[in-house]
Structure 1
Amino acid sequence: MLKVSVVLPAKNEAGGLERVIPALVGMGIFDEIIVVDDGSVDQTSTVASGFGAKVIHHPYSKGNGAAIKSGVRAATGDIIVFMDADGQHQPEDIPDLLEKLDEGYDMVVGSRSGSSQASVGRWAANSFYNRLATFMVGHKVEDLTSGLRVVRAKKFREFLYLLPNGFSYPTTSTMAFFRAGYSVGYCRITTLKREGKSHINPIRDGLRFLLIIFKIGTLYSPLKLFVPFSFCFFSLGMGYYLFSFLASGRFTNMSALLLSTAVIVFLIGLVSEQITNLMYQGTVSDKDRNQ
């Protein structure tokens, strides 16, 4: 019988934990519940320990991803369930995700419906991320940023060093699983309104998520990101060269700059592709040595 651990990253989520932990305990299917207190200043730790959860303390806030990593290192289960501590995720959805995992998947993600998104802006941003990820991996990605997911612990730990300390751990872990050839599945879920105030800053984290778009490309398949940019510069260079040649019969510095940029961008993509391959080959080699 496989052991199942639940990891809840929490920062000032005492209110949400008062509802989430009793619901998890009442289900009776989890071997341990781990709450990672990421520098909270409320009663998060007291509430969690009061309901019997194992509590890991961060002396100061390190970020959602750092809390996830601390929880994974402490978890003893063969399967790990990740969910938010703010009350958005419903524990009743977890059995469906576990059942899907038993079908042969290595990670199963709770896919939110459009009505479950926090706002229209958040829905539009997530839809863009999903389309970009689908293009990168060649498989339909239904929800790239969902925090409710179940994973096989041994395989998830292979990518701990890749996970950022901020809010983008779902994105990075999903792309890493696809890149390694592991199976990723989805189950439809409905999320509730969160307890308390969100820790996501629209401007600061919006810019951060914009950087994630480029990180997705360089993490999974850099050439898929760099080749279109290279082709754009090449097309502009050739188009400007054709225009200047027909207009004045000469090859201009601007044409040379655009064509040179196209070559440089392509070469950067080629080098990035090789680095990415070496990175994942290292992961596979470490896995083979541990077997």
Structure 2
Amino acid sequence: MEKEPAVSVLIPAYNEAGRIGDTLEAVLSIPEVAEVVVVDDGSTDATAEIARACGARVISLERNRGKGEALNRGVPLCTRDVILLIDADLGASAVQARQLLLPILEDEADMTVARFPAARRRGGFGLVKGLARAGIRWYTGLVMDAPLSGQRALKREVLQHLLPFASGFGVEVGMTIKAARLGFRVREIPVVMTHRETGRDLKGFIHRGKQFWHVARVLWQARG
């Protein structure tokens, strides 16, 4: 008898009308995926409408609340034993998320983290990534190549120990520290995924400035 699909996919999305359709088409083609939940984080474009048309269950927040809170709102709607967290801007490369699922389904890891190929263009100076990597290693001893990666798969019983997620862009660092401290098996998995990259322009530096502040806040809170 064929097994029932075991995976819920949770996608936070903010003004991703241009890529959400391709992302959803890709994840829905993964055999183990049973359902997709999209949290429209106060978008002003057609993100929610496109996601519904693709077959996702959509909840829309009244205003933009940030990635961590969007994930917190979506978790209760995920009903399966394995949860896949991915970003909305992966497009067709989201099919690579299956590489994150297999170690979980085969009980070789409790949480997997996607390690992307090298960036195609120069972004920041590595300050946010360096801070995240150093903080995770300081608190847990875990050495991460991709501490900020938002593409993750984890078991439901692990997820329950990690909630609520930290607000904003500190969610991944907070999640990793909690999981490692509790002794869960965290593995990085190389994938061939692509997403929108921020450049060395004003918008990119503002984004990375927010990231740095959010990561620093999570690390400060983790000291206790």
Deviation of the 1:89 alpha carbon: 7.7
Unaligned stretches of 5+ residues in structure 2: none
Deviation of the 1:126 alpha carbon: 1.2
Give the count of matched residue pairs: 217
Residue by residue, what CA displacement relative to the aligned partner does 1:111-134 show, whole Å, maximum 9, x if unpaired? 123336x63416453144223422
Are 2:72 and 1:104 equivalent residues in the alignment?
no
2:124 corresponds to: 121
Report the secondary structure of 1:18's partner residue: helix
1:76 corresponds to: 79
Report the secondary structure of 2:190's partner residue: strand
Unaligned stretches of 5+ residues in structure 1: 223-275, 277-291
Residues 23 and 91 of structure 2 are in contact (CA less than 8 Å); yes or no, is this contact kept in structure 1?
A: no
Report the secondary structure of 1:104's partner residue: coil
* C-alpha separation in 1, matches of 2:63 and 2:119: 34
Q: Look up the equivalent residue of 1:85 and give its one-letter code.
A: A
Residues 88 and 194 of structure 1 are in contact (CA less than 8 Å); yes or no, is this contact kept in structure 2?
A: no
Report the secondary structure of 2:219's partner residue: helix
Residues 93 and 193 of structure 2 are in contact (CA less than 8 Å); yes or no, is this contact kept in structure 1?
A: yes
* C-alpha separation in 1, matches of 2:48 and 2:198: 16
Deviation of the 1:142 alpha carbon: 2.1
Are 2:62 and 1:59 equivalent residues in the alignment?
yes
1:186 to 188, 204, 218: 188
* C-alpha separation in 2, matches of 1:186 and 1:89: 21
1:142 to 122, 142, 145: 145
Return closer, same or farther for 1:106/1:62 CA change in 2, 3 Å cut-off: same
User: What is the 5 A alignment of 1:25-64?
Assistant: 25-64=28-67
Q: Look up the equivalent residue of 1:175 and give its one-letter code.
A: I
Residue by residue, what CA displacement relative to the aligned partner does 1:228-266 show, whole Å, maximum 9, x if unpaired? xxxxxxxxxxxxxxxxxxxxxxxxxxxxxxxxxxxxxxx
Residue by residue, what CA displacement relative to the aligned partner does 1:84-142 show, whole Å, maximum 9, x if unpaired? 001268223222211222243110000123336x6341645314422342233112222
Q: Which of the pair is proportionally richer in helix? A: 1
Deviation of the 1:52 alpha carbon: 0.8
Percent identity, please.
26
Q: Look up the equivalent residue of 1:106 and give its one-letter code.
A: D
Runs of 4+ in 1 over 6 A off after TM superposition: none
Question: How high is the TM-score relative to the length of structure 1?
Answer: 0.67
2:26 to 23, 26, 35: 23
Question: How high is the TM-score relative to the length of structure 2?
Answer: 0.85
| Aligned-pair Cα RMSD in Å | 2.6
Q: Which has the higher contact order (CA 8 A, sep 6+)?
A: 2
